[in-house]
Amino acid sequence: MEIRVSPTLAVTLVAPDDLKRFKTVVEFGSDRLEDLKTALKTAGEVESKDAVWISADWLKSESGLADNSEWVSGFEGMLGYAAKHGWVRDGSPVMIRSHVEWPNDAAAA
């Protein structure tokens, strides 16, 4: 499961059925951290350049699989695994911590 943030600040969920990985890929430079905060307003929030919190409700909604009991079971398992590592923040909504990749930063290096 991957959250992608485009240079135009569009946020999309890619590979929602891949419950073994979870990351956020930002397709612009990390010098635009404020833009990332703006882009993620409905999906979650930015903790730092390296981590964001994504709403579990947003993930379910964007997955298109929330009515699939097998997917829901797998998603709950992913949440349980993440919680064991301190990557889940309870509340309303429940948030999951995601590491952030900035591929354009690597290309510039």
For the chain, the structural domain boundaries read: 2-108
| Structure tokens, 6 | 């485009």
Number of C-beta neighbours around residue 35 at 10 A: 16
The dihedral formed by the CA atoms of 62, 63, 64 and 66, expressed in degrees to the nearest 10: -110
pLDDT of residue 14: 97
Q: Is the pLDDT of residue 52 over 70?
A: yes
Q: Is the pLDDT of residue 108 over 60?
A: no
pLDDT of residue 42: 94
Q: What is the mean pLDDT of residues 44-58?
A: 97
Q: How confident is the model at residue 76 (pLDDT cuts 50, 70, 90)?
A: very high
What's the sign of the alpha-carbon dihedral 42, 53, 95, 92?
A: negative
**Looking at beta carbons, which pairs linking 48-51 to residues 24 or more positions away fall under 8 Å?**
49/100, 49/102, 50/99, 50/100, 51/97, 51/98, 51/99, 51/100
